[in-house]
Each structure stands twice: as structure tokens, then as C-alpha cells.
Amino acid sequence: MTATIETRQALTPPDSAERKMFVDGAWVDALSGETMETINPATGERLAVVPRGRREDIDLAVAAARRAFEGPWSRFKPADRQRLLLRIADLFEEHWDELSLSDTLDMGKPLTRARADKGRVAGMLRYYAGMATNLDGRTVDNSQPGEMFSYTRREPVGVVGAIIPWNAPIAASIWKIGPALATGCTIVLKPSEEAPLSPLLIAELMNRAGVPAGVVNVVTGSGTEAGAALAEHLDVDKIAFTGSTLTGQSILRASANNIKRVSLELGGKSPLIVCADADLDTAVPTVALAAFANSGQICIAGSRLLVDRSIHDEFVERLAAYASALKVGPGVDPDTEIGPLVSKRQLDKVVGFLDAGVEEGATVRAGGARIERGELAAGNFVAPTVFGDASDSMSIVREEIFGPVISALPFDSLDEAVKRANATPYGLAGGVFTRDVGTAHQLAARIRAGSVWVNTYHALDPAVPFGGFKMSGFGKEGGSEHLDEYLATKTVWVKLD
């Protein structure tokens, strides 16, 4: 049956009561029969229950992925994998309304924003489709020309374990599944228990597109059970992880078991440097977007605002006014700009930081509290918050909050700004706002982070590498570097005489 005919059938609605997980091409319950709930963060109501996969379920999924890797999938030629990825991209576009609604209901993202990601996600899949037929090795001149011929082949690393967080379930799934399919790997994906529904819909689409059994498996379950079992598994060749630095450290330790390849996309505490000559009309909304998009639940969220002292007060005043005007509400409301936090646990964590900021001496210039009026009282809503009078030693300035909170810090020289921007164990991203092209490039070079944006923020593209320095992890997603993470280089020597 062709994809065109199949796509007339809608995907399983995200709020259907009981979901199964996808292992070896089949929809299954956990072997234990246990389930766990997923909650709508805008209402506090139960959305669905999913299987609580554990170690034994991970074992089955990894075994299926190994069989597929060594069996039918190994016979797929690069052009076959390319066709498959293009078909998947088409299916994603056709079902984007269902996918984006699923993210909105499960983790709170405003629907208008989720819908706007359609082209970006389909573009990622098509980028990987293009890469599938561009995996070349090279011939290497050695010191015995005429006697020995040497060349490299780039081969899939094998079975990939992918562990993703809840803040961007669709994009995070595709950042892992896309390169796996392009390179000929197979994959076991463990979504976050906070937002497992979109990855299950993605499994449905993979199945409809004709991905062979065992090539893409999605096991729902908790991090400490299913996630840890995947990270420790002796038959997994690589772990691709996105999540907190703390969990990244335990993934790295677990990888020692069988010397797995590991790529880690971890947390951040990204600095934004606003120079005295910045265009404030564009810098204010861009800084607000950097801090508050996805309710600040983005690893690259700009949360430390270093502003030249000469414009500091004006900038903070304008930013606070902008933040206060943002419309907070349920993601399904088309006017909503800022949705809820993903969970009650995340809400408590963010409110704890708000309280700590005030206790440590910062002043609230905008927001500063949970929103509990009317229908928002049932959800996990926090007002976009701007702190003034902050200092580098405060917890709100040092620690990753993962909520809609930014702290303003005046500086007196660019050298000082750079030093303070880099005074963090993280190194994921940073932003620079200036009209001077020389200053822009100099600051971009001096900020110790994997991505620096100048007079913009959040720009991402499948062709452009993304990934952190320092305790924000290693390994790139995006660009040809991304494919390298899923490939192993083999050298072949041939004696010619």
C-alpha cells in the first residue's frame, strides 16, 4: 500500500486513554503490564496512560534493533534509505496538525508555535535524506605507493540508544532518528515520561512509511528504569542523549560497560551580551524570545543578561514592559505566547528559584510568581520574569532554571562582560547584540560556547552544527558532523603486488 493511501487514516489521538509502545514493528504493553500516566500541564488532567517499560522491555527492543541491523535493514541501499526518509518527511507534513497538537497537550507548547515548526522538522528529515547518499570514505596516500592501497569506509555504528527530554519531543526525536536512518543504524528511543505521546505518534508514522520492524523502536518508561537500562546495555553501540548535565554524567559512567560511543546535548546557562551601541528596538524582543520561548524550557535559553551600564536601566525597563505584555495561557489558545511549564515538579523548581532570587537580594522587575488566576490556577503557569539588581553569585544567575526567568547584570567593559559570560561550567550558547561588526566577531570568538548568535537568537538549521562546550556536552547535532556521530571509520589496506 502506498503512503498516499495510508495517510488518509488519522493518527491515534494524543488523548486516547491507553497507549502501547512500539517494539519490533508491533504495538505492545510492558512485559510487567504496568502503566504510567501523562498529564496535560495546562489543566492538570490526565491525558493518557502509557506502558511503564523496564529493563526487560529494553532488552527486547535492543534485540529487535540488533536483528534488524544485521538483517533486512543492512540490505537497504543508501538510495532506499533516502526514499524512506523522504516518504517520512511527506507523512510528517500531512500529519503535522496532529503531531503539533500532541506536543501542545503533552508538554504545553503554544499550538501556534508548534504548528510553525512544520517546515523545520520536515526540512530536517529531508536534509538527512540527502545525507544518506553522501556518505563517502576516502582514499589515503600511504608511504608505500604502488605496493599498498589504503582507503576508508564509513559504516553505521550499529544499535543506537536515544534518550530525549520533554521540552521538544518531536524535534528531539527527529534529531536522533533522522541520522540513524540516514547512516543505516537502528534505534531504540526512550522519551521522557513527562511527554511520551509525540514519539509514539512518530513511531506510527515510521511504521506507515514502511520502516522495517526493529529499525525504530520506542520504549516508554522512566529514566531511572528504562533510560538507565538502555544506557547500561551491553549490546547498544552508541547513546545519543539530550537532557540534564547530571543525567549526562551517569550516561557517561554507564557507557564504560562496553565502551559505547556517546554524544551528550546537555544543559546551559547562556549569556546575552548587550553592547552600548545595540539597536534596542530589535534587541529587546529578541532577548525576550531568547529567555521566554517555550516558557524558558530550552537548553539554549538566554538567562544571564549582561548589559552595558550606560543603557542598563533603559534596557531592563523596556524588557520588563515587554515581558509583562506577553500573553500567558493554555497552549491550545491561539493567542497564547507563553504556555505552562511541563509538570508540577518543574513548576515547584522554578518557583523555588523565584523565591531564592528575592531572598538573595534581586528585585523583581516583571513577573516573579506563579499565575493562579481563573482557569490558569489548575495548570503550571509562571509569569515571564525579569530580575534586576542581580549578581553573579546568586543561584538564579549560576544555575539552570529551565523556566521563563532572566537576570540583568550591568557591565563596564567588554573584557569584563566576556569574563563574566564565560564564568560558568556550561558552554552551550550565547548571544551578542551590537551594531559594530568588529565587536560582533570578536565577542563571538571569545565566548566559550558551541553556538553564538549575533543580533538574533535560536536560529537552527539541519545543515548547521549545534552542540555544547564544557559541561554542556560534546558531539554535534546538525551538519555533516552530526552524521559522523553515527558512523565508524574503517580503514582497509590492500597489498597490490
Residue 38 and residue 12 in contact, taking contact as beta carbons nearer than 8 Å: no
Question: How many whole angstroms separate alpha carbon 243 and alpha carbon 262?
Answer: 13
Pick one of 52, 54, 190, 238: the residue that binds ligand NDP (CB under 6 A).
Answer: 190
Residue 219 and residue 21 in contact, taking contact as beta carbons nearer than 8 Å: yes
Pick one of 57, 106, 117, 194: the residue that binds ligand NDP (CB under 6 A).
Answer: 194
Q: Does 428 bind ligand NDP (CB under 6 A)?
A: yes
- Name which of 303 and 439 has its Cβ closer to ligand NDP: 303
Q: Does 35 bind ligand NDP (CB under 6 A)?
A: no
Question: How many whole angstroms separate alpha carbon 475 and alpha carbon 137?
Answer: 20
Taking the CB of residue 49, how many other CB atoms lie within 10 A of it? 15
Beta strands in 40-109 (DSSP E): 46-51
C-alpha cell at 21: 509502545
Question: How many whole angstroms separate alpha carbon 330 and alpha carbon 341?
Answer: 10
Tell me the closest approach of the beta carbon of residue 266 to ligand NDP, in angstroms.
5
Active site residue: 193, 265, 400, 477, which one?
265
- Name which of 193 and 308 has its Cβ closer to ligand NDP: 193
Q: Which stretch binds ligand NDP (CB under 6 A): 76-84, 188-196, 391-399, 440-448?
A: 188-196
Q: Does 231 bind ligand NDP (CB under 6 A)?
A: yes
372 is catalytic: no
Active site residue: 225, 299, 337, 485, which one?
299
Beta bridge mates, 324 = none
- Name which of 127 and 166 has its Cβ closer to ligand NDP: 166
Within residues 296-325, the interface with ligand NDP by CB under 6 A covers 299
Q: Does 295 bind ligand NDP (CB under 6 A)?
A: no
Pick one of 41, 53, 169, 223: the residue that binds ligand NDP (CB under 6 A).
Answer: 223
Q: Does 38 bind ligand NDP (CB under 6 A)?
A: no
| Parallel/antiparallel/unpaired status of strands 405-411 and 385-388 | parallel
Pick one of 41, 184, 214, 267: the residue that binds ligand NDP (CB under 6 A).
Answer: 267
Residue 47: strand, helix, or coil: strand
Question: How many whole angstroms separate alpha carbon 217 and alpha carbon 133?
Answer: 24
Sign of CA dihedral 64, 67, 70, 73: negative
C-alpha cell at 299: 537548553
Give Cα separations from 115 to 34, 124, 221, 247, 486 (angstroms).
33, 15, 27, 30, 29
Residue 311 and residue 276 in contact, taking contact as beta carbons nearer than 8 Å: yes
Helix (H) or strand (E) holding 105: helix 96-107
Q: Does 193 bind ligand NDP (CB under 6 A)?
A: yes
- Name which of 213 and 428 has its Cβ closer to ligand NDP: 428
Q: Does 380 bind ligand NDP (CB under 6 A)?
A: no
Tell me the closest approach of the beta carbon of residue 194 to ligand NDP, in angstroms.
5
- Name which of 11 and 251 has its Cβ closer to ligand NDP: 251
Question: How many whole angstroms separate alpha carbon 161 and alpha carbon 236?
Answer: 6
Q: Whose grid coordinates read 564565560?
A: 422
Within residues 466-485, the interface with ligand NDP by CB under 6 A covers 468
Q: Which residue is nearest to ligand NDP (CB)?
A: 223
By rule CB under 6 A, what count of residues binds ligand NDP? 30
Question: How many whole angstroms separate alpha carbon 172 and alpha carbon 164?
Answer: 6
Q: Does 250 bind ligand NDP (CB under 6 A)?
A: yes
Pick one of 100, 192, 263, 380: the residue that binds ligand NDP (CB under 6 A).
Answer: 192
x/- mask, ligand NDP, residues 115-144, rule CB under 6 A, reads: ------------------------------
Residue 26: strand, helix, or coil: strand
265 is catalytic: yes
Tell me the closest approach of the beta carbon of residue 114 to ligand NDP, in angstroms.
16
Taking the CB of residue 369, how many other CB atoms lie within 10 A of it? 14
C-alpha cell at 381: 503557569
Number of H helices, E strands in the chain: 17, 22
Please give the radius of gyration of the chain, using alpha carbons only, rounded to the nearest integer.
23
Q: Does 242 bind ligand NDP (CB under 6 A)?
A: yes
Q: Does 166 bind ligand NDP (CB under 6 A)?
A: yes
Pick one of 268, 384, 404, 430: the residue that binds ligand NDP (CB under 6 A).
Answer: 268
Q: Does 219 bind ligand NDP (CB under 6 A)?
A: no
The binding site for ligand NDP (CB under 6 A) comprises 163-167, 190, 192-194, 222-224, 227-228, 231, 242-244, 247, 250-251, 265-268, 299, 400, 402, 428, 468
Residues that are catalytic: 265, 299
